[in-house]
Structure 1
Amino acid sequence: MPDTTTGFGFRRADFPQGFTFGAATSAYQIEGARFGGAGPSHWDTFAATPGNTVRAEDGRLACDHYHRWPADLDLVRDAGLDAYRFSISWARVMPEGRGTPNAEGLDFYDRLVDGMLARGLAPWATLYHWELPAALADLGGWRNRDVAGWFADYTALVMARLGDRIHATAPVNEPWCVAWLSHFLGHHAPGLRDIRAAARAMHHVLLAHGRAIEVMRGLGLGNLGAVMNFEYALPADESAESEHAARLYDGIYNRWFVGGVLERAYPEDVLEGLGPHMPDGWQDDMALIGQDLDWIGINYYTCKRLAANPESPWPGLREAPGPLPTTDMGWEICPDGLLHFLTRLKDLTSGRLPIVVTENGLAAATPLEDRERIAYLEAHLGAARQAIAEGVPLAGYFIWSLLDNYEWAFGYEKRFGLVHVDFETLERTPKASWHALRRAMEREPVTAQEAR
């Protein structure tokens, strides 16, 4: 059993009134893609290709959340959290990506959203967390400009059904992963290493975001945001070459997507490399991409040390090891980076947009007495509190993740969950971090004066 005497050094009362605490998951990582009439996604085909994922593991079963969702939502409620951030599987709702919807899939999300509301949890929906229907991948996927229209149609279908009960919605989770990680580095589906494919995906994923926002505004929906992942780029040494490398990495990873969505412009230093490969007329799309939002989401995990690699074509970067302790992913634990991005976004938006930490967490192998997770979360929530004290309009914080789950190309080896999952029996066991969080989330008694 976990050591439930270990706790966090903060309480809910240390944060502003109305601050949202939640946990996050994604559909392919927990639901079980083989259930409920879901069509194949490009992750199924990616995982079926030798060498792409650990032991060729995929998300066909995952955590079987498709059948076990009531108990999983009980875990969110019983931890004292306010909200649950989940994603909707495009391949479950529209098995071919277009055309006839899957009634069983829509019914599942109906039950799931109603289950959240019945437990007093605010539903935070993500419309795309990397599950492109395989039929659309056959048509070029994110390289094909038509993907923005396909995504708009999918958004209209889903939000016409669920939008009246969704508290907050973001179209796309982590566009850098959708585009660069998957089309330039080749680590995620579709597993391409092609600069032209990457440039087009980098633009089309933001065009799809813009079209989805447009559709949801047309349906009269509000509380719409964008969720982007950020990585703190640091020079590997004090040389001018490393400074330049870190700046360029920041441009590709961070400034490209923030620039498109919040400033309607891409960074010039990144366009030097990607410009020749961009789709014709991309400049005409920037107003659509940069529509007004109601909040901005930060997914933050780590920093990266960069140096120049003159032997390599553009961008000519190499990663260097750093001095900080690392997680099971090999990622340095750097809460200063979270403070950096919270402050940066506040300055970029002149403080006009609420900011939400939509993902933050670590992979740790210790199954139940997970002191590393408690220390990590406490350090990053400390950075969040400092940001609030410095005037950042931080409105919420979501822990990744509720459950140990399918960690994409790493299979089932990396455990990010507050709750341990035995992948043989699928039994759930709350870890020490879940118990510590439950105590921290306890609400202070309301005094008679406050009640008045």
Structure 2
Amino acid sequence: MQKFEKGFFVGAATAAHQVEGNNIHSDYWAQEQLPHTSFAEPSGIACDHYNRYEEDIRLLADAGLNAYRFSIEWARIEPEEGKFDPAEIEHYRKVIACCKAHGVEPVATLLHFTSPKWLIAMGGWEAESTVEYFKRYVSYVMEQLGSELHYICTINEANMGLQLAAISKRFRLMAEQAAKAAASAGKSAEGSVQVGMNFQKMMENMKYAAAENAAVFGTPQPKIFVSERTPEGDLLVLRAHAAAREAIKAICPEVKVGLTLSLHDLQAQPGGAAFAAAAWEEEFTHYLPYIKEDDFLGVQNYTRTLYGAQGQLPAPQGAELTQMDYEFYPQALENVIRKVAADFKGDLIVTENGIATADDTRRVAFIEAALAGVQHCIADGIPVKGYFHWSLMDNFEWQKGYAMNFGLIAVNRETMERTPKPSLAVLGGYANA
């Protein structure tokens, strides 16, 4: 094992809704309670990280990791429009202080998919007003906590809405086939997007969803962050990011700011070059004008996607698949870093990379291969400044519920007892004190 140089972040990542528990003012919480919800189960107490963060950060630090990426939950900070909760700011102040007490660099994400329920009722992520609402929230957080942070991710996977729109369109086409074929195709579609989604269940529930959403959000089609996004909504997210960056720099000019993108290693097979090029333009290149002033880019990658003469291809016959139906392909990370670095000239931080598997030996193998690729990139002069594994602990994988095992730490769903897996110490071994 080759350790990284001192100052390189070797960390793990979480998102508030997936680990904290009882995020009752959020849009996701509301959707989880719908009679015909697309969620496999509600988030509930999640991993109770809200109350157990000290134990979790200590486990991370004791294993040798030196950085922790977590998200600050907007729905906690501003549970009602214009009403900020100082007690919740103090909670996150304690999380930051706990990191520092253990020699861990806190890296905060200000929006990781979940939004306040009130924001969605006011038009959500297709409404122009959201840009200013987000800027106001970011300004409040920075005024309170900004001096205690060095790195901020404004928005997690700003491109996820477009990816979901493409997947949903493909899924609907497949769903027009016979029921048995649709079920099979649906599983394939779910495995091509880097977030836990239940497209089959969404299709089945569509006839009920409109009325239930209208009752909760005041609209039959609420525009949450991971709704299918229009091109206009896509650019609105980037304007929200730019507004947030402006606010952060005005209040704390020394803080380094970026966003994160969900990026696949897009590989063209014979006849697939045009499809792969178009997909990369949509997934990454068209964002470049909006992120060129950022201090860093958060690279998030889990697998590769193959394209042939007819478009996207399934994983190769006999390929190892993860619990999420992704192809086990840790080499993808190095390929994506190199491709991104050709166009984005700021620092790069791997803000998510990981694998859903119950077999921790495969997680160890994945980490070792992925980090070898990162080290190859650094050796070639690419400015990669950190690696955050997804995830610190087994948690709530959105619509998939608790069935996915992404964690470096196991969590007993009954007792909340934490059990570090061997992979946690393996990852920590790469850090230089």
TM-score (norm 1): 0.79
1:382-397 equivalences under 5 Å are 382-397=372-387
Aligned residues: 381
Conserved 8 A contact 1:302-1:333 = yes
For residues 370-428 of structure 1, the C-alpha deviation after alignment (integer angstroms, 9 at most, x for no partner) is 10000001000011011111111111111111110000011000011000011121111
Distance 1:255 1:393, change over 3 A: same
Q: How far apart are 1:193 and its partner, in Å?
A: 10
Distance in 2 (alpha carbons) for counterparts of 1:223 and 1:341:
22
Which residue matches 1:306? 307
Which residue matches 1:24? 13
**Which of 248, 252, 266 is residue 282 of structure 2 equivalent to?**
252
- 1:343 paired with 2:333, answer no
Distance 1:256 1:172, change over 3 A: same
Which residue matches 2:118? 135
Which residue matches 2:151? 168
SS at match of 2:281: helix
Distance 1:193 1:391, change over 3 A: closer
Moved over 6 A (4+): 191-195
- 1:206 paired with 2:196, answer no
Counterpart amino acid of 1:331? Answer: Y
Which residue matches 2:415? 425
Distance in 2 (alpha carbons) for counterparts of 1:344 and 1:192:
26
Q: How far apart are 1:230 and its partner, in Å?
A: 0.6
Which residue matches 1:227? 260
Which residue matches 1:216? 248
1:101-140 equivalences under 5 Å are 101-140=84-123
Q: Structure 2 unaligned segments of length 5 or more: list them.
A: 170-196, 199-221
Conserved 8 A contact 1:183-1:191 = no
Q: Structure 1 unaligned segments of length 5 or more: list them.
A: 1-9, 263-291, 310-316, 444-452
1:48-127 equivalences under 5 Å are 48-49=33-34, 52-55=37-40, 57-96=41-80, 98-127=81-110
Q: How far apart are 1:99 and its partner, in Å?
A: 0.5
1:397-412 equivalences under 5 Å are 397-412=387-402
SS at match of 1:406: coil
Q: CA RMSD in A?
A: 2.4
Which residue matches 1:7? none
SS at match of 1:415: coil
SS at match of 1:213: helix
Distance in 2 (alpha carbons) for counterparts of 1:200 and 1:259:
16
Conserved 8 A contact 1:29-1:62 = yes
Distance in 2 (alpha carbons) for counterparts of 1:417 and 1:160:
33
Conserved 8 A contact 1:336-1:383 = yes
Q: Which structure is higher in RCO with an 8 Å CA cutoff and minimum separation 6?
A: 2
Distance in 2 (alpha carbons) for counterparts of 1:194 and 1:131:
11
Counterpart amino acid of 1:299? Answer: Q
Which residue matches 2:32? 47
Which residue matches 1:364? 357
Conserved 8 A contact 1:183-1:198 = no
Distance in 1 (alpha carbons) for counterparts of 2:136 and 2:151:
19
Q: How far apart are 1:326 and its partner, in Å?
A: 2.0
Which residue matches 1:434? 424
Distance in 2 (alpha carbons) for counterparts of 1:256 and 1:184:
19
TM-score (norm 2): 0.82
Distance 1:155 1:308, change over 3 A: farther
Mean CA deviation greater in 115-124 or 145-154? 115-124
Q: How far apart are 1:356 and its partner, in Å?
A: 1.0
For residues 53-77 of structure 1, the C-alpha deviation after alignment (integer angstroms, 9 at most, x for no partner) is 453x232310011111110111111
For residues 292-334 of structure 1, the C-alpha deviation after alignment (integer angstroms, 9 at most, x for no partner) is 222221011111123566xxxxxxx554232542211111122
Which residue matches 1:320? 314
Q: How far apart are 1:80 and its partner, in Å?
A: 1.0
SS at match of 2:307: strand
Conserved 8 A contact 1:142-1:200 = no
SS at match of 1:348: coil
Distance in 2 (alpha carbons) for counterparts of 1:179 and 1:31:
27
Counterpart amino acid of 1:20? Answer: F
Distance in 2 (alpha carbons) for counterparts of 1:60 and 1:178:
25
Which residue matches 2:164? 181
Which residue matches 2:194? none
Conserved 8 A contact 1:307-1:320 = no
For residues 20-72 of structure 1, the C-alpha deviation after alignment (integer angstroms, 9 at most, x for no partner) is 111111100000134xxx52x221233234565453x2323100111111101
Distance 1:182 1:80, change over 3 A: farther
Distance in 2 (alpha carbons) for counterparts of 1:191 and 1:137:
6
Counterpart amino acid of 1:343? Answer: R
Percent identity over the alignment? Answer: 32
SS at match of 2:168: coil
Distance in 1 (alpha carbons) for counterparts of 2:35 and 2:286:
32
